[in-house]
Amino acid sequence: MGCLPVERLDHYTTYLILDITPSAYLPGSKEREAITAALKRVGSTVEEVPIVIGSKEYKTEHVQYQPMPHNHKKKIAKFYYATPVVENALNAFFAKELTKYQPISEDPKSTLNCLCLDDLKYAAGNYYINDKSTGSVVGQQPFGGGRMSALTFYLEVLASNLGRGEGLDGFVAAVSPFNFTAIGGNLAYTPALMGSSVLWKPSDTALLSNYTIYKIMIEAGVPPGVVNFVPADGPVFGDTITASPYLAGINFTGSVPTFNRLWLQVGKNINVYKNFPRLIGECGGKNFHFIHASANVESVVNGTIRSAFEYCGQKCSACSRMYVPESLFCFCSCFLLLFLFSASVPVFCFCSCFLLLFLFSTSVPVFCFCSCFLLLFLFSASVPVFCFCVCMSEIIGGGQYDESCGYFIQPTIVQTKDPLEKIMTEEIFGPVLTIFVYPDKDLDKTLKIVTDSTPYALTGAVFAEDESFQKRCLDDLKYAAGNYYINDKSTGSVVGQQPFGGGRMSGTNDKAGGPHYVLRWATPQSIKETFVPLTEWKYPYMG
């Protein structure tokens, strides 16, 4: 990792940024040995995590704990919810300190130091915390548990942009999800990169890994107060930030109901603010794999297994609905079921297994409640209340769960006769894939259902060797997915290559990881200077 100055224009410097190739964690490698040693330390401590505002730490009487999803009796972090006392401290801090900090982008050394620390000093520990707190396994958190590859890309964007931009006139509230640690760093530190002060509310179920990122950034040289670490109850946090006149933006990843609530509150308080707050949100999806009769079955099956079941189906881009023609269903279903029967999962071996079958932790955030309800009751024949959702469906593989020690959900494949059933239209955040088998002659009708049956439009994939059909789908499905894949799985976008985000109820589609996203957190200023004195007020046409 390095930073080489190339040229300087006024106070802008162009940097050539040298990134580190993501570790493969191959058997026998040093990084594999390091993470294995870190994993063995699980259960030894409960780390205490304070609220941090500026350079001061706060602890309140509202004590919370973060458990391990795969062993919910074990707590790995003790933390505190913010209270009105903390709210008063925040108001005082922002009233005094908002304009104090220069953009991190004008001193890239701290960002690059962060990347070096994350990749070298903290890599094993970060994976350890991430794997144990979210249940992911090695290789399933793209670019590492806490790596800030997005920030290096954003520095390159800023280096190529010769305009003048300042941070927003106020603070940005960053609300990060439980499922991807790196997103937390992206949500909080991208606005900071442009010079904004940030109020970061981490997810209760990813708190320790997010706090690790925060500590890395402080050690790397980001001044205290640029990003403030504030665990809080969701509604309380939302009410507090939307009532503040200093709110300049919300950078959000989470559920549609939560984002809707924040947007509604901003609208109600619009006359309170110094600025019109910028709202950026990514809200998940009901992602699809559409299979054409000309598709390569092997590619379909392998891509769907990775998309639907990797990381327990908890990626916001995970495939949860699949449309298969009758002519290919026998082949596709057989190979998918073979996977279910062969996927053995050693619980404490995060390097050797493909997925760890847990869903969520005890402290279920609001945006996980729907998944909780669906997945724990969907598979239980003794719960007739859920019959409205599965009456046209049949579980053809999996369908078991065990919450005695951890929250484990078996990878499950459901076949439905109704493409408009709830299980085909509503988000299920877990390892559940629902297949609708369509008659080959109903291709056009089924393709229309893909777009019209759900309010989401995050990711989707079309598998077909027929190039004319692929060209047609590019037009027919243009509003069905913000990230669209051709003969590839619906997950795995890469910073700088496939900027990520969706439209409709999947979010504002501002494309994190792309060149425009970072500029959304800047206030641009156009400057004109005249070098020739103006000697006449009349225009030439006036004579």
Q: Given the structure tokens 């220069």, which residue do they identify?
A: 102
- Could you please state the CATH topology (level 3) that the domain comprising 287-330+390-486 is classified under: Aldehyde Dehydrogenase; Chain A, domain 2 (3.40.309)
Euclidean distance between CA atoms 65 and 168, whole angstroms = 34
488 by Cβ neighbours in 10 Å (0-12 / 13-18 / 19+) ranks as middle
Which residues, in sequence order, are bridge partners of residue 68?
71
Euclidean distance between CA atoms 119 and 62, whole angstroms = 34
pLDDT in tens, the chain (543 residues): 334 333 333 333 444 444 556 667 778 888 777 777 777 675 678 899 999 988 889 999 999 999 887 778 888 899 999 887 667 666 666 655 554 555 555 555 555 555 555 554 555 455 445 555 555 555 555 444 444 556 656 655 555 554 567 888 889 999 999 888 878 888 999 998 888 889 999 999 889 989 989 998 898 888 888 899 999 999 999 999 999 999 999 999 999 999 999 999 999 999 999 999 999 999 989 999 999 999 999 999 999 999 998 888 888 999 999 999 999 999 888 888 887 766 544 443 444 444 444 333 332 322 333 344 445 545 543 333 333 344 578 888 888 877 777 777 888 899 999 999 999 999 888 889 999 999 999 999 999 999 999 999 999 999 999 999 999 999 999 999 999 999 999 998 877 778 899 999 999 999 988 888 888 998 888 888 899 999 899 998 997
Return the pLDDT at 360: 35
Give the residue among 434, 483, 432 at the shortest CA–CA distance from 456: 483
Return the pLDDT at 159: 54
Return the pLDDT at 110: 54
Euclidean distance between CA atoms 1 and 18, whole angstroms = 5
Q: Which residues are catalytic?
A: 282
* CB-based contacts of 123, cutoff 8 Å, min separation 6: 23, 31, 34, 35, 144
Phi, psi angles (nearest 5°) of residue 231: -60, 140
Give the residue among 132, 120, 124, 313 at the shortest CA–CA distance from 208: 132
Return the pLDDT at 152: 59
Q: Given the structure tokens 């390095």, which residue do they identify?
A: 2
Residue ranges covered by each domain of the chain: 30-283+507-524, 287-330+390-486
Stated pTM of the model: 0.83
Which residues, in sequence order, are bridge partners of residue 523?
166
Distances (CA, A) of 151 to 157, 183, 252: 10, 11, 17
Same fold, 30-283+507-524 and 287-330+390-486: no
Q: Given the structure tokens 């908002």, which residue do they identify?
A: 98
Residue 425 contacts residue 456 (beta carbons within 8 Å): no
Class of domain 30-283+507-524: alpha beta
Return the pLDDT at 136: 59
